[in-house]
A and B are shown apart, each in its own frame.
Chain A
Amino acid sequence: MDSEDRYYYDYTPTVYEVFEYCVFPSINGILPTLKNLIIINFLFNVSIQSRLISETTYNGLSILLGFLLLFFTLPELSILCIVGFICLTYVFLLTICKIQKHRRLNLEYLTGFVCAIVLVICEFGFNSDTWIQLRGFFMIACMKIISFTSDLQRGEEYRSVLFFGYILCPANCLFGPWVSVGEYKTLYKNPGKKNFNWATRIICSLLNAVFFLTLSNCWGTYFIPDGSFKWFEAYRQALSFRSSHYFISYLSETSMIIAGFNNKKNEQKKGHWSYEITHPLDIEIPSSLVSVVISWNIPMHNFLKYYVYRTYLKYGRFRAIFITYFISSLLHGFNVEVAAVLLTIGIYSYVQLVVQDKISSVFDSCLKVRHCKNCKHKFTRKDIRVKLVRCLFSLLTIFHSIYLGVLMDAVGDPNRESFYEKWSNLNFLSHWVMLVTYIFGII
């Protein structure tokens, strides 16, 4: 096979062939899912918009359509798991609510704990092929359940049908994003007027989704063929993973807007539609790792901020950060790669924060990770030298993100290399660089 492999790798396809064998089959591959997603969410939207249905029917419809979407996309067997999971959590919620009437319980910790147990059992007990297909749904469902109980704890009164409707909402049960119960209820109460802007937003996000899909599947390999310099290949792998994430984000944005979800900030602006989930530019050209983390998945970031970080803030900042990290990796299925990446990101962002604070005070210039609002530094952000240094930081962050993204590209592939192998292929360079910057920052 050696000679064949050599031939295969030496061959660079033409643009036409990339289209024929990669772009079109890739789009073909998502068409059935896309079709279901669009039709079901459109039906959902139309029935809300008609204003003929009661709130109970709205929830019922959400359950039905969400269930249909799952049924069309996931294998039959896993539907049973999903039903079992939702029913179990429902029974669990009912029980603890009953108990809570007599005794004060801390609902958040309990549900968080239960979700964690379920996820860990699934991660290690399930057939990995099935689990990896279901994980997306379970992640979103767990986030929703945690935020739901958190709102219950704060004294909100919810009906049981709302719980099911919220979990199975067709706009976000499959590809995310996480939405709060409040947003879900607002969709019924105030569906918003659909206009031209609504339609263009849908088309835009759909086109974005398709673009990032083909970037992830096809164009990476076209521009950086196999056998290139290893850091270029690593960049391609990381880019492939990132654009796959953008694809999913834009896909979920499409489904959200079709269903009629609108960003809260658009309440004032009448007739304006958007639901931002990710900011590819902030991730591709990051100013620091913190901006990558925030822009990666904005709704999830909000969830972690409001429902996890703020809840645990009373135990101190460091512990809250640690718990947030822990829950975030739990939600990602406690996968080794994900945990490693998240931990590294945590450490790196801390180091960047310390180092940039130090540099900022030493050179009396605006170089902190966060924009300093009332800048009293000698060198402001407009200074060319400051700009240059910021560019340098950006490049460093891109370098780190290559290193981190390499791990994520093949999550779920049973034949993947271990993360140790992958990082040792790149000589652990990023870790060394980080160590050097840290030492530099301490001095």
Chain B
Amino acid sequence: MDMEFSVVLVVSLFVAIGSTNEVVIRKGRGKGSMWWGIAMAGEPNNISPLKPGLSYMDPSVHGTLRKKQRRLARENPGVLDAIAKGANMAIHECQYQFRNRRWNCSTKNFLRGKNLFGKIVDRGCRETAFIYAITSAAVTHAIARACSEGSIDTCNCEYSHHKSRPRMYSSSRGSVPGVREWEWGGCSDNIGFGVEFAREFVDTGERGRSLREKMNLHNNEAGRMHVQSQMRQECKCHGMSGSCTVKTCWMRLPSFRIIGDNLKDRFDGASRVMASNAGNSRTNHAHNNRRKEPSSNDLLSSNSIHSKRERKPRRNKHGFQLKPYNPDHKPPGSKDLVYFEPSPGFCERNTKLGIPGTHGRHCNDTSIGVDGCDLMCCGRGYRTEVIEAVERCLCTFHWCCEVKCDLCRTKKTVHRCL
């Protein structure tokens, strides 16, 4: 980490602390995203020392979780570690995907909750959509993974063959798998658990009433759908000459990088939406314990053309359909990312929006893309430095199994934005 960047970081941290009043004012926003702070819960520089297992009682965790999230963590021991892992995975993936963009998904170290990604989360732009989708996807992925490792007790394998006969061949090939579509080898379905759990956990606090909350719910669900559709179960029969006396199934879980790549593609083609006339007549079951307030949207819906969509199967899990900003565009699909505000410029430091700007960022002087110095530095120009890097080189493989390398000093030219 270079000096300038850390200076910027420190500055923006002060800015973030200074702006807590504003956070209080915008109380309703981003409530569901406080749990992101769990990513930092295991960090040694945090309030609590590094511990092997996270507890929901842990003050650093406790503060970030909502009541329902704490209950979920209490009921499913082992889940918090997976969520923390997932949150970290999301941060790394986000930073990898956006390493060459003006907005590089920078995070702040010790402030928790939505401020983890800065105040960009308060806006309803593409970047926010991506953050919500990738965190939701990461939690799903991490929970499914933890299930397959057996570190979450509530989703472990049940070996009772009487409960359900495994189906012969999975039909999930190529289709978008429903949550309970597959059962594998008498074992409970981990990805299904991951999706269900993430839905309960991540979507808490987004009541699905305002457009902003609908957007978050949609993007959270999109993230989960990406994980679920990438995860496949494959089965094979074994027995005398092609009979099926025992069937074994296995998962093909993609690496999180693939999900990150897919979500990045969806980021580039995200659809801008606006408030739809079709109201939120149905809400997510996670929130149905709350009393529904009659909204003017509900009254309108009976008369609008969009009310027909209510009966269409192609509605998302939360029972609302977002309307595209441009009426010529198709309504967003379940895997598309949605946003409703244009992104702010990320060139200059903007304390109000918590944007650090691109000062001091690396850029590529030969590229004409966003990572090129022209675009990255927003025309401010760049500085070229020659630094000496020590690298491993001339590696040779020795039987068996050792790789020996020399250390070489090479001169590298780096460009930084002014």
Q: Which residues of B contact A84 (CB under 8 A)?
A: none
Q: Mark B108-147, 1 if CB is under 8 A from A, else 0.
A: 0000000000000000000000000000000000000100
CB distance from A403 to the nearest CB of B (A): 17
Q: Which residues of A contact B258 (CB under 8 A)?
A: 7-8, 11
Q: Which residues of B contact A76 (CB under 8 A)?
A: 162
B290 touches A (CB below 8 Å): no
Tell me whether A5 and B236 are in contact (CB under 8 A): no
A17 touches B (CB below 8 Å): yes
CB distance from B261 to the nearest CB of A (A): 7
Tell me whether A25 and B148 are in contact (CB under 8 A): yes
Question: For residue A20, which residue of chain B has the nearest CB?
Answer: B148
Given A7-B261, A25-B148, residue A135 in contact with residue B239 (CB < 8 A)? yes
B255 touches A (CB below 8 Å): yes
Cα of A382 to Cα of B167 in the assembled complex, Å: 54
Cα of A139 to Cα of B245 in the assembled complex, Å: 12
Tell me whether A217 and B248 are in contact (CB under 8 A): yes
Q: Mark B231-248, 1 if CB is under 8 A from A, else 0.
A: 010001111111111111
Tell me whether B244 and A218 are in contact (CB under 8 A): no
Of the candidates B162, B165, B236, B247, the one having the most CB atoms from chain A within 10 angstroms of its own CB is: B236
Which of B176, B184, B238, B241 touches A25 (beta carbons < 8 Å)? B184
Tell me whether B237 and A32 are in contact (CB under 8 A): no
Tell me whether B262 and A4 are in contact (CB under 8 A): yes
Q: Mark B362-401, 1 if CB is under 8 A from A, else 0.
A: 0000000000000000000000000000000000000000
Which of A139, A216, A332, A408 touches B238 (beta carbons < 8 Å)? A216
Which residues, 238 to 280 on B, are CB-close (under 8 Å) to A?
Answer: 238-255, 258, 261-262, 265
Tell me whether B185 and A244 are in contact (CB under 8 A): no
Which residues, 221 to 277 on A, are CB-close (under 8 Å) to B?
Answer: 240-241, 244-245, 247-248
B330 touches A (CB below 8 Å): no
Chain B interface main SS type: mixed
Question: For residue A247, which residue of chain B has the nearest CB?
Answer: B238
Which residues, 386 to 426 on A, are CB-close (under 8 Å) to B?
Answer: 408, 411-415
Cα of A75 to Cα of B247 in the assembled complex, Å: 13
Given A1-B174, A139-B241, residue A217 in contact with residue B250 (CB < 8 A)? yes
Tell me whether B240 and A139 are in contact (CB under 8 A): yes
Tell me whether B174 and A26 are in contact (CB under 8 A): no
A335 touches B (CB below 8 Å): yes
CB distance from B115 to the nearest CB of A (A): 33
Tell me whether A4 and B236 are in contact (CB under 8 A): no
Given A4-B230, A75-B165, residue A132 in contact with residue B251 (CB < 8 A)? no
B229 touches A (CB below 8 Å): yes
Count the B residues whose beta carbon is within 8 Å of the partner chain — how many?
44
Tell me whether B250 and A136 are in contact (CB under 8 A): no
Q: Mark B83-121, 1 if CB is under 8 A from A, else 0.
A: 000000000000000000000000000000000000000
Tell me whether B245 and A174 are in contact (CB under 8 A): yes
Q: Which residues of B contact A213 (CB under 8 A)?
A: 238, 248
Chain A interface main SS type: helix
Q: Which residues of A contact B239 (CB under 8 A)?
A: 132-133, 135-136, 175, 248
Question: For residue B252, which residue of chain A has the nearest CB?
Answer: A21
B168 touches A (CB below 8 Å): yes
A337 touches B (CB below 8 Å): yes
Question: For residue A175, which residue of chain B has the nearest CB?
Answer: B245
A152 touches B (CB below 8 Å): no
Which residues, 130 to 178 on A, are CB-close (under 8 Å) to B?
Answer: 132-137, 139-140, 174-176
Q: Which residues of A contact B255 (CB under 8 A)?
A: 11, 13-14, 17
A436 touches B (CB below 8 Å): no
Cα of A132 to Cα of B148 in the assembled complex, Å: 29
Cα of A31 to Cα of B258 in the assembled complex, Å: 32
Question: For residue A296, which residue of chain B has the nearest CB?
Answer: B241
CB distance from A141 to the nearest CB of B (A): 11
Q: Which residues of B contact A3 (CB under 8 A)?
A: 262, 265
B14 touches A (CB below 8 Å): no
CB distance from A45 to the nearest CB of B (A): 22
Q: Which residues of B contact A28 (CB under 8 A)?
A: 157, 185, 187
Tell me whether B236 and A244 are in contact (CB under 8 A): yes
Tell me whether B174 and A218 are in contact (CB under 8 A): no
Cα of A23 to Cα of B250 in the assembled complex, Å: 8
Question: For residue A22, which residue of chain B has the nearest CB?
Answer: B250
Q: Which residues of A contact B186 (CB under 8 A)?
A: 29, 32
Which residues, 141 to 187 on B, are CB-close (under 8 Å) to A?
Answer: 145, 148-149, 157, 159, 161-162, 165, 167-169, 174, 176, 184-187
Cα of A25 to Cα of B156 in the assembled complex, Å: 12
Q: Which residues of B contact A17 (CB under 8 A)?
A: 253, 255
Cα of A23 to Cα of B252 in the assembled complex, Å: 11
A338 touches B (CB below 8 Å): yes
Tell me whether A8 and B232 are in contact (CB under 8 A): yes
A73 touches B (CB below 8 Å): yes
Tell me whether B244 and A29 are in contact (CB under 8 A): no
Given A25-B187, A29-B187, A213-B248, residue A415 in contact with residue B169 (CB < 8 A)? yes
Q: Which residues of A contact B236 (CB under 8 A)?
A: 216-217, 240, 244
Q: Which residues of B contact A199 (CB under 8 A)?
A: none
Cα of A176 to Cα of B242 in the assembled complex, Å: 13
A333 touches B (CB below 8 Å): yes
Q: Which residues of B contact A134 (CB under 8 A)?
A: 243
Of the candidates A20, A29, A33, A132, the one having the most CB atoms from chain B within 10 angstroms of its own CB is: A29
CB distance from B34 to the nearest CB of A (A): 31
Given A248-B239, A337-B242, A338-B241, residue A218 in contact with residue B250 (CB < 8 A)? yes
Question: For residue A31, which residue of chain B has the nearest CB?
Answer: B159
Question: For residue B265, which residue of chain A has the nearest CB?
Answer: A3
Q: Which residues of A contact B249 (CB under 8 A)?
A: 25-26, 29
Tell me whether B241 and A332 are in contact (CB under 8 A): yes
Question: For residue B253, which residue of chain A has the nearest CB?
Answer: A21
A30 touches B (CB below 8 Å): yes
Tell me whether B241 and A412 are in contact (CB under 8 A): no
Of the candidates B229, B248, B249, the one having the most CB atoms from chain A within 10 angstroms of its own CB is: B248
CB distance from B123 to the nearest CB of A (A): 28
Q: Mark A186-214, 1 if CB is under 8 A from B, else 0.
A: 00000000000000000000000000010
Which of A20, A217, A332 touches B242 (beta carbons < 8 Å)? A332
Tell me whether A8 and B230 are in contact (CB under 8 A): yes
CB distance from A302 to the nearest CB of B (A): 15
The 7 closest A-B pairs by CB, nearest first: A411-B242, A135-B243, A29-B248, A29-B185, A136-B243, A136-B240, A22-B250
18 extra interface residue pairs, beta carbon distance < 8 Å, beyond A29-B186, A32-B186, A33-B246? A13-B255, A17-B253, A21-B250, A22-B250, A25-B251, A29-B184, A29-B187, A31-B159, A74-B245, A75-B165, A133-B239, A137-B245, A175-B245, A217-B248, A217-B250, A244-B236, A332-B242, A413-B237
Residues in B lying within 8 Å of A, measured CB to CB: 145, 148-149, 157, 159, 161-162, 165, 167-169, 174, 176, 184-187, 229-230, 232, 236-255, 258, 261-262, 265
Residue pairs across A and B with Cβ atoms less than 8 A apart, 18 shown, are A8-B232, A8-B252, A20-B149, A20-B253, A21-B252, A25-B249, A26-B248, A26-B249, A29-B248, A30-B246, A33-B246, A74-B245, A76-B162, A129-B168, A135-B240, A217-B236, A335-B242, A338-B241
